[in-house]
Amino acid sequence: MDLNTKGYIKKRVSMVVKMIILLVCFVIYMFPFVMVVINSFKTKRDIIREPLSLIGSQGASVKNYVEAFVKMDFPKTFMNSLCITGFAVLLLIIVAAMCAYIFVRTDYALNKIFFSLMVASMVIPFQVIMIPLVSIYGGQLHLLNHRLTLILMHVGFSVAMSVFMYHGFIKGSIPLALEEAARLDGCTRHQTFFLIVLPLLKPTTATLVILYAMGFWNDFLLPSLVLTRKELYTLPIATQMFYGTYSSDLGLIMASLIMVVIPVIILYLFLQKYIIAGVVAGAVKS
């Protein structure tokens, strides 16, 4: 057996081993989600007695979904989540893109200081300022229980990372000559940004939309601190009502979790092709 054949066999064996490892990791990662889907169609008794069976002794049923839909007041909570997530992501994209554009295209020392402070703020965990934030906004300013308050908080906590990613993409992927040509054609600075630069930011924008739409949609801690009135509940907060002090209705919990995650999965399927390109362009070239 010559060296080329040995090298080929070694390469094939290595590839097979890697595929097996990836397959095992995929199964381990997906197993809990599959179990949630399967058990969402079972009764509470079947979930406790036969959690790993495909179908419970009483058969499969959509009763959990119907009951969870009613108890969660799904249409209202869905619209609350959609409104908060949609406006927060939209505002975040516009503010972060404009801020990063100014940081890249204006060579001011103050801009460099602000950008450095913004990047440094990314290491501060939310839990550190959680209590003071609620105390100030709730106890002194009385601004809690408003959707706008939650939207602005989401934007404020997420803008640093978004500016960092846009900064890297604009600096490394958008030539200055393109903007200069637009200005020679009569475009103002605002027109240059919104008509030329912003459309070119599509990969990074898609990445940020996915990341923060999932984050805002699934966030429980911050909305639970800001929104305490039932009519303002988002989907993750509404799901919490199925958890009791001494017992929980597992069937309703799993059905509600599936209902909460489906919109995010749909959004991901539409935008997934932009994620890798956006992350690489925004992080590596910064």
26 and 18 Cβ atoms separated by less than 8 Å: no
83 and 75 Cβ atoms separated by less than 8 Å: no
Q: How far apart are CA 252 and CA 72, in angstroms?
A: 10
Sequence-distant (6+) residues with CB within 8 A of 99 are 159, 163, 166
Sequence-distant (6+) residues with CB within 8 A of 47 are 39, 56, 250, 251, 254
Q: From the CB of residue 204, how many other CB atoms can be counted at a distance below 10 Å?
A: 29
In this prediction, residue 1 carries a pLDDT of 54
In this prediction, residue 151 carries a pLDDT of 93
Q: How far apart are CA 271 and CA 206, in angstroms?
A: 6
In this prediction, residue 286 carries a pLDDT of 43
The pLDDT tens digits along the chain (286 residues) read 555 677 777 888 889 999 999 999 999 999 988 988 998 888 888 888 887 887 877 778 888 899 889 888 889 999 999 999 999 999 999 999 999 999 998 888 888 888 888 888 888 888 888 888 888 877 777 788 889 999 999 999 999 999 999 998 898 888 888 888 888 888 888 888 998 899 988 888 888 888 898 899 989 888 988 888 888 999 989 888 887 655 677 888 888 889 888 888 887 777 777 666 555 554 444 4
Q: How far apart are CA 204 and CA 197, in angstroms?
A: 12
In this prediction, residue 77 carries a pLDDT of 93
Pick from 206, 228, 256: nearest CA to 74: 256
Q: What is the pLDDT of residues 71-84, one digit of tens each?
A: 888 899 999 999 99
Q: How far apart are CA 121 and CA 151, in angstroms?
A: 19
Q: How far apart are CA 277 and CA 210, in angstroms?
A: 13
257 and 268 Cβ atoms separated by less than 8 Å: no
Question: How would DSSP label each residue in 10-33?
Answer: HHHHHHHHHHHHHHHHHHHHHHHH
Q: From the CB of residue 205, how many other CB atoms can be counted at a distance below 10 Å?
A: 23
In this prediction, residue 274 carries a pLDDT of 67
Q: How far apart are CA 202 and CA 162, in angstroms?
A: 13
- Please tell me whether residue 176 adopts helix, strand or coil conformation: helix
Q: Where are the alpha helices (DSSP H) in the chain?
A: 3-39, 44-49, 63-71, 74-105, 109-120, 126-134, 147-173, 176-184, 189-191, 198-200, 202-218, 221-226, 235-239, 250-271, 275-284
